[in-house]
Chains A and B, each alone.
Chain A
Amino acid sequence: SAVISQKPSRDICQRGTSLTIQCQVDSQVTMMFWYRQQPGQSLTLIATANQGSEATYESGFVIDKFPISRPNLTFSTLTVSNMSPEDSSIYLCSVLAGVNGDEQFFGPGTRLTVL
């Protein structure tokens, strides 16, 4: 399995500011993902972050709003830029791991509240 940590675990931010969320994995992984879980909802994929290349964003998400870095195989950051209350969500980092790369593990999430 993969052990994933995220910082911060939660934050309360003011409208118009930006927050960078860090994701650290205890082993090298090729594919890392960032998800958003809005209150009472399921998970929505924001982007796939591959080391050495630009992140691939899903429909409805853009790089200017959610810039992602992936400097190495164990670390990634997601920035939520120019925040509004609609960005209040849990943001989760995820990786593919396991013997055959079949298992997708999630970090504990970052609970963001935007006032």
Chain B
Amino acid sequence: GEDVEQSLFLSVREGDSSVINCTYTDSSSTYLYWYKQEPGAGLQLLTYIFSNMDMKQDQRLTVLLNKKDKHLSLRIADTQTGDSAIYFCAEKRPGYALNFGKGTSLLVTP
């Protein structure tokens, strides 16, 4: 099947904002998700957005959705060293299970 695309690596300084981008495959996807995976751990659901929204904010996290371009982004404000992890974008296509990207490895340096 088609791939959800993410850049593989992002490095930011502590205190800066991080923006992780994702391009998904299906314009009929109903939900778009962001998961965080720390080393040796499972996936933590960070946030998700319904396809009829274009923005969702949750504390330091802001999700932007551009349905026309099938583009999703996750902005983390005031990034901390504890935010260092792999971030996965995923789309929920009708009738299908989640389709994941390959993950973006975020490194936060002091």
Contact = CB atoms under 8 A, between A and B. Distances in A.
Interface of A: 1, 33, 41-43, 45, 48, 92, 102-109, 111
19 contacts: A41-B102, A42-B102, A43-B43, A43-B100, A45-B98, A92-B43, A102-B31, A102-B48, A102-B50, A103-B45, A103-B48, A104-B92, A104-B98, A105-B45, A106-B43, A106-B44, A106-B45, A109-B41, A109-B42
Interface string B69-108: 0000000000000000000101010000110111100000
Interface residues of B, number: 20
Contacts of A109: 41-42
B61 to A, nearest CB: 15
Contacts of B41: 108-109
Contacts of A33: 97
Given A92-B43, A102-B31, A108-B42, A42 B101 contact: yes
Q: Is the interface of A mostly helix, strand, loop or mixed?
A: strand
Given A42-B102, A43-B88, A106-B35, A48 B42 contact: no
Contacts of B33: 104
User: Which of B33, B45, B92: most chain A Cβ within 10 A?
Assistant: B45
A102 to B, nearest CB: 6
A114 B48 CA distance: 35
A98 to B, nearest CB: 9
Given A42-B88, A45-B97, A106 B42 contact: yes
Contacts of B40: 111
User: Which of B33, B97, B101, B103: most chain A Cβ within 10 A?
Assistant: B97
User: Which of B43, B44, B88, B101: most chain A Cβ within 10 A?
Assistant: B43
A48 B97 contact: yes
A104 B42 contact: no
Nearest to A103: B45
